[in-house]
């Protein structure tokens, strides 16, 4: 079945434009609710959101949809995506919903769905829900309409669960930490968790007004954090995105540390402590070759999944791994969470930092990244990658890089773009290989 609504991470789009309208949200609530009405118990759904202005509209529409098919609704207000996943399981809910467009601007929004196990829905569940969207809603009799209630104490529950992942014999006393919450879902819980662990917290991006989420702040714009860390003389800076499932770190010198370096640190730390499972880290095809070489030197493997934290998690579960993520900062630690969690990942970085007794700049840069270049080529119809001239250019590039690097060519999942990436030891050669392949794609397009 061709998908009309679900993408790589739920449903997402510009609000008040299809598919991100109140009408569609209500229908999604009706379809997802009907799909998860299983058994004769009283069914419930947990709904959380970030701080976007449109969150009120989408929340109300979803509540109408779920209650109309007989589901009770628990509204938890602004809450990180991993917090909604956690609450779905702890509240014994049949379904969890996060209203967020993650790192996108405020005018976008999205709907992410979690099953009763706290994991994002399978392809089969999403396809089944899309099928129900095409049918009349399964409305229940008047006396079976669901009830809705707002629960106010969930922030404390999430803070407690996050703190429990930090070693019990450690504290953050005397450590100044700057955290940028992107004016998003974690603007209350993340600074509070760090403060409760003893840190001297400088909080940025904690004044959401409905339209400033991810606006020149957070993990997609860490420049302000870099400046503030140096200005404050802080030990570390943490940057989250709008729904707090992504983390970027800044060391005490103001240098940005991406997800590849963070995975290297957590994997090596956990491996030394006997906590790492599967003898490997799961990343994506975009992760730097330097990470792969670093892990190999430590006797570990790097397994590469397709781009998207959902695909990373699927491979982690299939291979029995407990550390995975993306270069962009989605870090998945399945010992503690069923999805990416920026706060929990940050606490693991802080634990390794405290244990080392060294400055962040010495701990967080474990390998030298290989030069990496990515260019996009737009095309209009057809399949440029099927052209023999393009295949020949790709094969030639792979041969030129040989054992010193790699070439990655893929289509964008959201735009008519061919993404051409190469990395290796020789920066000049990489640039030449990428330019040659891009030229071939442009000619074919």
pLDDT tens figures, 269-326: 999 999 999 999 999 999 999 999 999 999 999 999 998 888 999 999 999 999 999 9
Predicted local distance difference test score (pLDDT) of residue 2: 60
> 60: which 2 tokens?
């109300």
Pick the catalytic residue from 102, 192, 219, 287. Answer: 102
- Separation between Cα atoms, residue 394 and residue 409, nearest integer Å: 8
**Residue for token digits 């964008």?**
412
Give 375-412 pLDDT, tens digit per residue.
Answer: 999 998 788 999 999 999 999 999 999 878 999 998 88
The confidence band for 413, taking pLDDT boundaries of 50, 70 and 90, is: low
Question: Which of these ranges, 58-62, 295-299, 416-420, has the smallest mean pLDDT?
Answer: 416-420
Residues 250/225, Cβ–Cβ less than 8 Å: yes
Mean pLDDT of 182-211: 98
Fold of 257-340+358-363: Alpha-D-Glucose-1,6-Bisphosphate; Chain A, domain 3 (3.40.120)
> What is the pairing mode between strands 72-78 and 44-49?
parallel
How far is C-alpha 159 from the geometric centre of its chain's CA atoms? 19
- 11-152 belongs to which homologous superfamily? Alpha-D-Glucose-1,6-Bisphosphate, subunit A, domain 3 (3.40.120.10)
Give the residues across from 333 on adjacent strands. 323
Q: Over 90: is that where the pLDDT of 39 sits?
A: no
State the span(s) of the chain assigned CATH 3.30.310.50: 372-444
pLDDT of residue 3: 73
Residues 363-375 have pLDDT tens digits of 999 999 999 999 9
For residue 414, what pLDDT is reported?
A: 64
Does 287 participate in catalysis according to the annotation? no
DSSP 181-222: -TTSTTTTHHHHHHHHTT-EEEEES----SS-TTSS-STT-T
Nearest Cα residue to 67 out of 14, 138, 15, 115: 138
Between CA 218 and CA 216 the distance in angstroms is: 7
CB 358 within 8 A of CB 175: no
User: CATH number of the domain at 372-444, out of 3.30.70.520, 3.90.100.10, 3.30.310.50, 3.60.15.10?
Assistant: 3.30.310.50
Topology of the domain covering 157-166+174-256: Alpha-D-Glucose-1,6-Bisphosphate; Chain A, domain 3 (3.40.120)
**Is pLDDT of 8 > 80?**
no
What is the helix (H) or strand (E) element at residue 423, kind and residue range?
strand 417-424
Percent over 90 (pLDDT), the chain: 91
Do the Cβ atoms of 200 and 235 come closer than 8 Å?
no
pLDDT tens-digit profile of 134-165?
999 999 999 999 999 999 899 999 999 999 99
Question: What pTM, to 2 d.p., does this model score?
Answer: 0.91
156: CB partners within 8 A, 6+ apart: none
CATH 3.40.120.10 in the chain, residue ranges: 11-152, 157-166+174-256, 257-340+358-363
């Amino acid at each position: 079945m061709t998908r009309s609504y679900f993408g790589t991470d739920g449903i997402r789009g510009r609000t008040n434009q299809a598919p991100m309208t109140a009408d569609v949200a209500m229908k999604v609530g009706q379809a997802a609710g009907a799909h998860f009405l299983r058994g004769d118990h009283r069914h419930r759904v947990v709904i959380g959101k970030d701080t976007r202005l449109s969150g009120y509209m989408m929340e109300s529409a979803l509540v109408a949809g779920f209650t109309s098919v007989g589901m009770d609704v628990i509204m938890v207000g602004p809450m990180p995506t991993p917090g909604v996943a956690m609450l779905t399981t702890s509240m014994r809910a049949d379904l969890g919903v996060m209203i967020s467009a993650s790192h996108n601007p405020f005018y976008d929004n999205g709907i992410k769905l979690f099953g009763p196990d706290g994991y994002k829905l399978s392809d089969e569940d999403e396809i089944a829900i899309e099928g129900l969207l095409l049918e009349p809603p399964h409305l229940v009799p008047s006396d079976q309409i669901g009830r809705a209630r707002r629960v106010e104490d969930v922030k404390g529950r999430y803070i407690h669960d996050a703190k429990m992942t930090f070693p019990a014999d450690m504290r953050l006393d005397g450590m100044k930490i700057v955290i940028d919450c992107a004016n998003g879902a974690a603007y209350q819980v993340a600074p509070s968790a760090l403060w409760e662990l003893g840190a001297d917290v400088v909080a940025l991006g904690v004044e959401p007004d409905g339209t400033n989420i991810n606006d020149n702040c957070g993990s997609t714009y860490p420049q302000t954090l870099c400046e503030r860390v140096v200005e404050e003389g802080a030990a570390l800076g943490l940057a989250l995105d709008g729904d707090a499932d992504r983390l970027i770190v800044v060391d005490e010198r103001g240098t940005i540390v991406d997800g590849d370096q963070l995975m290297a640190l957590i994997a090596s730390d956990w491996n030394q402590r006997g906590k790492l499972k599967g003898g490997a880290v799961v990343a994506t095809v975009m992760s730097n070759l330097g990470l792969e070489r670093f892990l190999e030197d430590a006797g570990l493997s790097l397994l590469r999944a397709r781009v998207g934290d959902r695909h990373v998690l699927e491979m982690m579960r299939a291979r029995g791994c407990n550390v995975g993520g993306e270069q962009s900062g989605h870090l998945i630690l399945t010992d503690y969470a069923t999805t990416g969690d920026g706060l929990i990942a940050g606490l693991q970085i802080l634990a390794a930092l405290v244990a080392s007794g060294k400055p962040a700049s010495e701990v967080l840069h474990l390998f030298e990244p290989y030069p990496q270049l990515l260019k996009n080529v737009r095309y209009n119809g057809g399949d440029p990658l099927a052209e023999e001239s393009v295949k020949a250019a790709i094969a030639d590039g792979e041969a030129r890089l040989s054992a010193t690097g790699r070439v990655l060519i893929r289509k964008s999942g959201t735009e008519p773009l061919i993404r051409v990436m190469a990395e290796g030891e020789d920066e000049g050669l990489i640039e030449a290989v990428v330019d040659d392949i891009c030229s071939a794609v442009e000619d074919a397009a």
